[in-house]
Amino acid sequence: MAIGVKIVSRPGSLSQQMYLPAIAEGLGVTFRHFVTNFAKNVTGMRKKSEIQTIEYPEEKKVYPERHRGLHRLMLREDGQVRCVACMMCPTVCPAHCITIVPEEAPDGTIEKRPKIFEIDELRCVVCGLCAEACPCDAIRMDTLEHAKPTYRRVDAILDKEELMSRGVQSAAVQGGVGAFWREKVAGEPQNPPAAEVVPPGPPAGPVEPSVP
């Protein structure tokens, strides 16, 4: 059995096949929007026009409160940095853009503090994991500021002094009950009276093997 061939004509008229009327119609729409927006922009009615761009840096977009901006280090009551160099933020950072060199605290109120705290904003992926992992409320990303453009890569590395310049005193309480929390909770029961731990867990001490 022979296979028949069905010839299908191209749909549309000759004007549609030439594309020239469609091109003219598109250029007309573009020219109409240009004239309307240009007139409103010149007469001071830019906000009422259909222009979507903003005149940066004179005009800046308002970001929501949860926008992740430049990092900052929070401060203690005495003005020192709250960071205790626990190394959790550089550990959780997927871009490895945080560098911390710890040192002993001279006053003895905390065990360690960062001698060097640097963040490479060019490598940062703005994920916010460093602020979520910090147990001391020492690092935040709520400045609502962008990383500034630089001509040199080294200028994009923020040191501890610059990060602390954006910080303020934190109202968070470390340890749950303030300073010297170990002494405060030493004499307090960790479970309510007559509380039963479920499941009870393994017995304390060595366990003798059972003989069948």
Residue 144: which region, alpha, beta or left (left: phi > 0; alpha: psi -120 to 50)? left
Report, in this order, helix, strand and coil percent for the chain, each rounded to 5: 25, 10, 60
Res 104 pLDDT > 80: yes
Comparing 27 with 79, the larger pLDDT belongs to 27
Confidence tier at 106 by pLDDT (50, 70, 90)? confident
Report the percentage of the chain scoring pLDDT > 70. 80
Cβ-contact 159, 136 below 8 angstroms = no
pLDDT per residue as tens digits for the range 30-61: 999 999 999 888 888 888 888 888 888 788 88
pLDDT per residue as tens digits for the range 110-169: 789 999 999 999 999 999 999 999 998 999 999 988 888 899 999 999 999 999 999 998
Confidence (pTM): 0.61
* Greatest mean pLDDT range, 5-14, 41-50, 67-76: 67-76
